[in-house]
A and B are shown apart, each in its own frame.
Chain A
Amino acid sequence: MPQAKIVLKNCGIIDPKDINTYRTKDGFKALDKARGMTAAGVINEIKTSGLRGRGGAGFPCGVKWEGARNSPGDEKYVICNADEGEVGTFKDRYIIQNDPFSLVEGLAIAGYTVGARQGYIYLRAEYSYLLGLLRGAIDQAQEAGYLDGFNIAIRLGAGAYICGEESALMESIEGKRGESRYRPPFPTVAGLWQKPTTINNVETLMNVAQIVLNGGGWYAQMGTERSKGTKVFSVSGDVARPGVYEMVLGSPLRELVEGLAGAKDIKMIQIGGATGRIIPYDMIDTPLAFESYLGAGAITVYNKSRDVLDIVGRTMEFLAEESCGKCTPCRQGMEWMVEVLGRFHRGEGLARDIGYMEVLADTMALSSLCGLGQAAPFAVVDTLKYFRSDYEKGISGK
């Protein structure tokens, strides 16, 4: 079971500027259906489907919605995270460009289910050219009467990677410095303005309408035991055909990278962007699922001409630059990593620093405040595991 189109069903088929073309493709039928159901019914359907968050963490969507629904409070919010900051992902951009209506519908269903009157779409600053299109879609849905009692506002980011992290994103919407918060309390209890909030990735919300329309059981037929449905992958790097591909979860990585994207002479593959895992070519038969490697679905392929230390060094430089600077392990640890990797790259590394890197990576993963710091050392940890000889070559005097 390779490709399947659930999320990208309407992409290239409907006119993203015209709601009527979306209507002919069962548009907004799911929203009507959901409004005929109880909130518990919708949550049940989502839970049956086994839909997990597509932003990288893979948190069960139904559980999140239920949490926010059951949290006491008269005011609740739903947020769509369109701050697609992960290096090498461009699936959300493609989705919004081609099918903004499904997103609006998904968010409206989320709003109805959770009991929110206000929804936000947090769009990254680099996608500001999509603002008109997205606003047009919201306005058209509003005029057609689909968004009665529910208001959607768009908030633009200001170019910070950390603001794709849910709590930093909320701080940013509140007008504060984009920094992660400690958890608990989780957003479902105290999120935006300390009110119960659900925050979902664009792709997660794209699945919602389909699930409501066709039933959770239908959706749960696809995928593996713990990863249901399909996933949109952004394939880039040393491939012949880079682009957006949607595949059933559990499909082998080889099929995507070599088959669909046409990569040759692969040295290693980075799955999940800068905070993702790096695997060597030997492991290309790994299935793509939450059980193994997935992240936000960024697949960056590197061929044999690439230098491991160069890639890892640049990844770390990016993360050091984008760290918010709140917690010690991430702020100080990234700086040290960058400096040491630079030394190895120049052939001035010290043998003992390899051991120190492992110690530091452990500490960062265990004690950082948010996902950025916890996942930041993955690139170093993985390349130390699979490409250790490259590091050893960088030791001074060798």
Chain B
Amino acid sequence: MGDITLTMNGAAISGREGMTILEVARENGIDIPTLCYLKELTPIGACRLCVVEVEGSRMLVGSCHTPIAPGMVIQTHSPKVLEVRRVLIELMMASHPDSCIVCEAANCCELRMRATDLEVGLPRFRTRLRYFPLEDENSNIIRDMSKCILCRRCVTACYNTEGKKMFSLAYRGFESKVIYDLDKPVGSDETCRDCDTCISLCPTGALRQPIKFGQRKKGPVLYVKG
């Protein structure tokens, strides 16, 4: 049984040492939204969507990488936290192209699902779009970096589960980009195999498989609230 007791949303719950706030919350049926988090892998901590309020902390803390401590008092869905999460989603959408209607990932797009869950309205923080040409020469993977929200799942997964380093990060600030090789498009004769790890993990339509003739769009139809 658990050996660390803490309070989450007013209820006393317990977890084992070494667990993160997110793991304890999920074990107890509290859903904290995440984007960059990958179960079992080293936390990334880049998207910040999983932030929660911890009593005594000036900032909100990322629940996917913060270990639990005895006596923690945590609010996972306070108005403050929800507002921050909404702004974060809006920021991710800020430079994301408005092409959901023709995007193949639209019905299984995690970014869109999180936005729907949080009832994000019209984006307030539009910025210039990040435009990159479509990389569709490879027979296993199509990359559209315009849609990338830099969650780094592909980078982490490729390294940790496949033991490869196909992707890495380059440039800084708003210009940051997940790059392939020394920032060249994924070509037709690359060593990248058809393991599909990164494609299945991409929360947006930035990475996808080349669509085959007669193949349908994936996922159930997504109804947008509001």
Query: Is A129's beta carbon under 8 Å from chain B?
Result: no
**Judging by beta carbons under 8 Å apart, are B172 and A322 in contact?**
yes
Q: A328-B46, A363-B84, A367-B84 are in contact. Are A356 and B124 (CB under 8 A)?
A: yes
| In the complex, chain B residues whose CB is within 8 Å of the CB of A328 | 46-49, 88, 91-92, 149-150
Complex CA–CA separation, A339 to B87 (angstroms): 17
Q: A184-B67, A332-B127 are in contact. Are A320 and B173 (CB under 8 A)?
A: yes
Q: Residue of B at shortest CB range from A162?
A: B172
Distance in Å: Cβ of B55 to nearest Cβ of chain A: 14
**Judging by beta carbons under 8 Å apart, are A374 and B45 in contact?**
no
Interface centre among A320, A321, A331, A334 (most CB of B within 10 A): A331
Complex CA–CA separation, A230 to B150 (angstroms): 43
Q: How many residues of B contact A (CB 8 A)?
A: 37
Distance in Å: Cβ of A172 to nearest Cβ of chain B: 13
Name A's interface SS: helix
Q: How many residues of A contact B (CB 8 A)?
A: 35
**Judging by beta carbons under 8 Å apart, are A182 and B51 in contact?**
no
Digitize A358-398: 1 where CB-to-B-CB distance is under 8 Å, 0 elsewhere: 01101101111100001000000000000000000000000
Query: Is A33's beta carbon under 8 Å from chain B?
Result: no
Counted as pairs of residues, one from A and one from B, with CB atoms less than 8 Å apart, the total is 116
Query: Is B60's beta carbon under 8 Å from chain A?
Result: yes
Query: Is A177's beta carbon under 8 Å from chain B?
Result: yes
Q: Residue of A at shortest CB range from B45?
A: A182
Query: Is A336's beta carbon under 8 Å from chain B?
Result: yes
| In the complex, chain B residues whose CB is within 8 Å of the CB of A326 | 45-46, 150, 176
**Judging by beta carbons under 8 Å apart, are A359 and B87 in contact?**
yes
Distance in Å: Cβ of A323 to nearest Cβ of chain B: 4
**Judging by beta carbons under 8 Å apart, are A367 and B150 in contact?**
no
Complex CA–CA separation, A194 to B84 (angstroms): 31
Q: Which of B43, B60, B149 contacts A367 (CB 8 A)?
A: B60
**Judging by beta carbons under 8 Å apart, are B172 and A323 in contact?**
yes
Distance in Å: Cβ of A19 to nearest Cβ of chain B: 40
Complex CA–CA separation, A366 to B91 (angstroms): 15
Query: Is A333's beta carbon under 8 Å from chain B?
Result: yes
**Judging by beta carbons under 8 Å apart, are A336 and B173 in contact?**
no
**Judging by beta carbons under 8 Å apart, are A324 and B48 in contact?**
no
Q: Which of B59, B62, B92 contacts A365 (CB 8 A)?
A: B59
Query: Is A327's beta carbon under 8 Å from chain B?
Result: yes
Q: Residue of A at shortest CB range from B53?
A: A366
Complex CA–CA separation, A177 to B174 (angstroms): 16
Q: Which of B67, B80, B94, B174 contacts A325 (CB 8 A)?
A: B174
**Judging by beta carbons under 8 Å apart, are A360 and B173 in contact?**
no
Query: Is A258's beta carbon under 8 Å from chain B?
Result: no
**Judging by beta carbons under 8 Å apart, are A367 and B51 in contact?**
yes
| In the complex, chain A residues whose CB is within 8 Å of the CB of B48 | 327-329, 367-369
Query: Is A160's beta carbon under 8 Å from chain B?
Result: yes
Query: Is B138's beta carbon under 8 Å from chain A?
Result: no
Q: Residue of B at shortest CB range from A353?
A: B124
Distance in Å: Cβ of B208 to nearest Cβ of chain A: 22
**Judging by beta carbons under 8 Å apart, are B62 and A336 in contact?**
no
Query: Is B95's beta carbon under 8 Å from chain A?
Result: yes
Q: A363-B87, A367-B84 are in contact. Are A325 and B171 (CB under 8 A)?
A: yes
Query: Is B212's beta carbon under 8 Å from chain A?
Result: no
Residues 329-347 of A at the B interface (beta carbon under 8 Å): 329, 331-336, 339
Q: A182-B65, A328-B48, A366-B60 are in contact. Are A356 and B125 (CB under 8 A)?
A: yes
| In the complex, chain A residues whose CB is within 8 Å of the CB of B127 | 332, 335-336, 339
Digitize B90-128: 1 where CB-to-A-CB distance is under 8 Å, 0 elsewhere: 011011000000000000000000000000000011111
Query: Is B146's beta carbon under 8 Å from chain A?
Result: no
Q: A182-B65, A328-B92 are in contact. Are A323 and B174 (CB under 8 A)?
A: yes
| In the complex, chain A residues whose CB is within 8 Å of the CB of B174 | 320, 323, 325, 331-332, 334-335
Query: Is B134's beta carbon under 8 Å from chain A?
Result: no
**Judging by beta carbons under 8 Å apart, are A327 and B47 in contact?**
yes
**Judging by beta carbons under 8 Å apart, are A324 and B51 in contact?**
no
Distance in Å: Cβ of B4 to nearest Cβ of chain A: 15
Listed A/B pairs (27) with beta-carbon separation below 8 Å = A179-B169, A181-B45, A182-B65, A182-B66, A184-B67, A323-B172, A324-B173, A325-B175, A328-B92, A328-B149, A331-B173, A331-B174, A332-B92, A332-B174, A333-B125, A334-B173, A334-B174, A335-B127, A335-B173, A336-B127, A359-B87, A363-B83, A366-B60, A367-B51, A367-B60, A367-B84, A368-B48
Extra contacts, 18 of them, besides A182-B43, A326-B176, A334-B173 (Cβ < 8 A), are A181-B45, A184-B66, A320-B174, A321-B173, A323-B172, A325-B150, A325-B173, A327-B46, A328-B48, A332-B174, A333-B91, A335-B173, A335-B174, A336-B91, A360-B91, A360-B125, A366-B84, A369-B62
Nearest 10 CB-CB pairings of A with B: A325-B176, A332-B91, A182-B45, A363-B87, A323-B173, A335-B174, A336-B125, A182-B65, A367-B48, A366-B60
- The residues of A with any CB-CB pair to B shorter than 8 Å are 160, 162, 177, 179, 181-182, 184, 320-329, 331-336, 339, 356, 359-360, 362-363, 365-369, 374
